[in-house]
Amino acid sequence: MAKILRLKDINKIYGDKVKTQVLFDINLEFEESTFNSIIGESGSGKSTLMNISGTLDRATSGEVEINGINTAKMNKNELAILRNETIGFIFQFHYLLPEFTVMENILIPYRIKNKVITKEAVKRAEELIDIVGLSKVKNNKATDISGGQQQRTAIARALINDPKIVLGDEPTGNLDSGTTEIVYELLRDINKRYKTTFIIITHDKRVAEKADRIIEIKDGRIEMDLSRKI
C-alpha cells in the first residue's frame, strides 16, 4: 500500500535562549486509507507532531513527505495550497466562522480552492451534511447550533475538498461521551466510504482501540506502535 504521510527524523526544539526539545528523531509512515490514533500523556508532544505533519508548523530538523511530496523546500503559499487540497483539519474547538451558516462554513475550503461554487460542490456539501446529520440546521448561523453539531460541521468542512488525510487533534475533546461515540462512528464511516486516511489524537482509550493502529508518544518519543491485522 502507498504511504500517504512520511515523517523522517523529526526533531522539534522550542525557544531561542532556553531550548526545550519536544520531539526526538520521530520516524513514522502512514498508509493510505487507514485509521490511526495517537495517544500519550499531556505535554508529550502529540499536538506538536500533528502540527508539523499538517505543515502548520516546521520541524527543527527532519522531513515531512505528504502524498509523495517533500514539503521541506516549499514556501508559505505552496504549503497553503497543499493543505487546502490534501489535508483536512479537525481541532478540539470547532473554529467555525460565526459570520457564516453551516452550509457556507462547510464550503469555505472549496471556495479557497475554486473561484465559483459549482452545482457539484453544493451536491457534495449536501451529501456531507447528510452524512454528519445536519440537514435540519444547514442554513443556521454557525453560532446557532449545539456543540456537537458545530463539531460535526467542522468535520464536514474538513472533508469538502476530498482530502487524502484528515488530521484530528482531540476532535471530541469537548463533547460528552455519547456524542463522542457518534462522532467516531462517523469518522470511521467516512474512512470506509471515501478511503480517507485519518490520524486522530485522542485521550479516549476506548476510541483508540477501535483504530487500525495506535501510536503512543511519551516525552517526545514513540513509546508504542501497534497495528491491528486487517
Ligand X SMILES: Nc1ncnc2c1ncn2[C@@H]1O[C@H](COP(=O)(O)OP(=O)(O)OP(=O)(O)O)[C@@H](O)[C@H]1O
Question: Which one of residues 7, 10, 22, 128 is an interface residue with ligand X (CB under 6 A)?
Answer: 22
| Strand 20-31, strand 3-14: pairing | antiparallel
Per-residue CA distances from 37 to 13, 50, 199, 207 (Å): 24, 11, 6, 8
Question: Which one of residues 40, 88, 109, 148 is an interface residue with ligand X (CB under 6 A)?
Answer: 40
Binding segment for other proteins (CB under 8 A), chosen from 61-69, 90-98, 125-133, 188-196, is: 90-98
Give the binding-site size for ligand X (rule: CB under 6 A). 12
Question: Which one of residues 44, 47, 105, 172 is an interface residue with Mg ion (CB under 5 A)?
Answer: 47
Binding segment for ligand X (CB under 6 A), chosen from 35-43, 73-81, 135-143, 181-189, is: 35-43
Binding segment for other proteins (CB under 8 A), chosen from 7-15, 75-83, 121-129, 132-140, is: 75-83
Residue 199, strand partner residues: 36, 167
Give yes or no for residue 109 binding ligand X (CB under 6 A). no
**Residue 107 neighbours by CB distance under 10 Å:** 21
Question: Which one of residues 16, 19, 42, 77 is an interface residue with other proteins (CB under 8 A)?
Answer: 77
Closest by CA to 220, choosing from 65, 99, 52, 70, is 52
Give the binding-site size for Mg ion (rule: CB under 5 A). 1
Give yes or no for residue 17 binding ligand X (CB under 6 A). no
d(CA 121, CA 116): 9
The angle at the Cα of 31, spanning 203 to 188, to the nearest 5 degrees, equals 50
Question: Which one of residues 9, 25, 43, 224 is an interface residue with ligand X (CB under 6 A)?
Answer: 43
Give yes or no for residue 178 binding ligand X (CB under 6 A). no
Q: What are phi and psi of 148, to 5 degrees?
A: -65, -40
- SS3 state of residue 81: helix
Give yes or no for residue 36 binding ligand X (CB under 6 A). no
Question: Which one of residues 31, 32, 65, 85 is an interface residue with other proteins (CB under 8 A)?
Answer: 85
d(CA 71, CA 57): 11
Binding site for Mg ion (CB under 5 A): 47
